[in-house]
Chain A
Amino acid sequence: MGPLVPDLLSNEFSYVVALVMGVGFGFALEQAGFSSTRKLVGLFYGYDFTVLKVFFTAGVTAMIGILLLGHLGLLNLEYIFVNPFFVRSALVGGLIMGAGFIIGGFCPGTSVCAAAIGKVDAMAFIGGSVLGIFLFMEGFTWLEDFYKADSRGAVLINEALGLSRAQWALVLTLVALAAFAAVSWIQHRVTASPNELFAFSRRRVLTAVAVPIGVVLLVMLTPSREEYVMARLEQRAASGECQPSIIDADKLAYELINNYFAYNIIDVRSRAEYEAFHIATAINIPLEDLDQLEYRPLFRQRLKANVFYGNDFETTKRACLLARFHGDDQGLALRESAAEFQQLFFAPEPLPLEPTRQQLTVRVFREDAARKMEEIQAAVSIRAQPIEKKVRVVQGGCS
């Protein structure tokens, strides 16, 4: 599951990827004509819409691709870099860049392309941008407050508009297609040449339009891989086809006080619930995070048996089955819920007036177990750390 760096490919390799991708980037830009400053500014004077066509197509293609990969479970959308939104600096910085664009006739990426093929004006632009960045760095003490003002975090546009990812993708795709049609019409009228879209066969144009819309609709209407997997698991569990191995509270307590080191107890509730009470030696992996890449080793190892518990048996069962899906065939599901477990051992109901021998034995065992579990918990929390979810910060944007 992507992104491949840093878990599946090393950070060093990422630099090689950068170089290779850069070559593709530069090649595509130059082929499109972005090494020509007059072609670039043509957008703003209405005589050349290449920038709009290339830019919009590239953005929408990548956007749909990312959407599709996320939907298929091939790319983890939580880990990709999303540009953070600082309202003031985004607007003012953008406007200044716009000025630079219309005066200089380039943007940094295209200036590099043009310089590569020998355009002297592009080299001058690059020199200017070195100066500009230098000025920013030197003036940073005065600019810092403005630079950091009004931070909104890494907000997604679909969230800001109250749409799902796929819905926004559809909107943007339709806007892009409309823009292409409009621009072709304008070009056709202004330059008195035939409308370029009609140069292609009807079928080609229709395919080009239908494919991106079709993909987005597909994402919108079909369940994502995550949803599909969970649904299948639940279906099989409900039909009795796939039952987790069950362990009951007393057995678990017994195992804990005698062989706690042979088990990984996994609490699949939320962090808050875990902090309020958890079974001795348990670690916390909320159910929605159980599918993450970093927990797979937990399911594949054979040294310790995993025991899952949650707020109700259904949740516990799902967790156990999900683990089994990822290779854990020794996993166990606790029959009792967390609350029931807590109550049985730490807040038991009063004994009946004439308890049977059986009831007394069980009560004594449970009180003893409760005490021992607390001791174990105290000892373990000093030594071992629960598996902390690694916070991965992918640097992107301007750095």
Chain B
Amino acid sequence: MKATSYMNPYVAGVLLGLVLLATVYITGRGLGASGAVKSVVATSVKAVAPTHYQSAAVYRDYAAEHPDGPMKSWLVFEVLGVLIGAFISGLLSNRIGLKLEKGPRVTNKTRILTAILGGLLFGFGSQLGRGCTSGSALSGMAVMSLGGIVTMLAIFGGAYALAWFFRRLWLR
């Protein structure tokens, strides 16, 4: 079955904006994503190396902020919702299927490796930058935060600056 086309980007943008607005109105905070991955990391470390989890300062501070455990965090629930929402959208638009998307000039192996590397950089950077494009940039723009907007400019500026060097990953 052929996949249906994507929604008009402006309409999708308004929809997304309204979701963000509702979130801020109800909870006082914006959306995010990387924080949920952090919860996964903390949970894993806690399970695999509990003594280290209890002794290292950074994990102790994290545990103090999350007294009910690292997984009981706002972002974990939100990201669970993202999974569900995206899945529903994929179902409705016939886009579900195990696939590996890549640029036309790279092998599957290269794509997987660069995806992991990109994820590693983004994960690391999101911690340093106190949020990713959702938490810092998008939510930051909505609440008029200078920090959020600066981070956003750095993300997109950085990507643009490096685009030429990695063009073989994506272009013909």
Contacts and interface: CB of A to CB of B under 8 A. Distances in A.
B115 A133 contact: no
B83 interface: yes
Interface in A35-81: 35-39, 41, 44-45, 50, 53-63, 65-66, 69, 74-75, 79-81
A107 B85 contact: no
B124 A136 contact: yes
A22 B81 contact: yes
Interface stretch (A85-93, A213-221, A347-355, A359-367): A85-93
B123 A23 contact: no
Say what secondary structure dominates the interface of chain B: helix
Interface size class of A (residues with CB under 8 A): 35 or more
A267 B98 CA distance: 67
B115 A21 contact: no
A101 B120 contact: no
A5 interface: yes
A327 interface: no
A98 B158 contact: yes
Interface in A308-332: none
A56 B79 CA distance: 22
Given A96-B121, A131-B120, A21 B98 contact: no
30 contacts: A2-B26, A17-B26, A32-B7, A33-B9, A54-B9, A62-B24, A62-B138, A82-B143, A83-B147, A93-B130, A98-B155, A103-B166, A106-B122, A114-B86, A116-B82, A116-B83, A117-B86, A117-B97, A124-B115, A127-B116, A128-B122, A137-B59, A147-B128, A152-B146, A156-B145, A180-B10, A395-B74, A398-B35, A398-B127, A398-B135
Interface of A: 2-5, 9, 14-33, 35-39, 41, 44-45, 50, 53-63, 65-66, 69, 74-75, 79-87, 89-109, 111-122, 124-138, 140-141, 143, 146-147, 152, 154-160, 165, 168-169, 172, 180, 208, 394-399
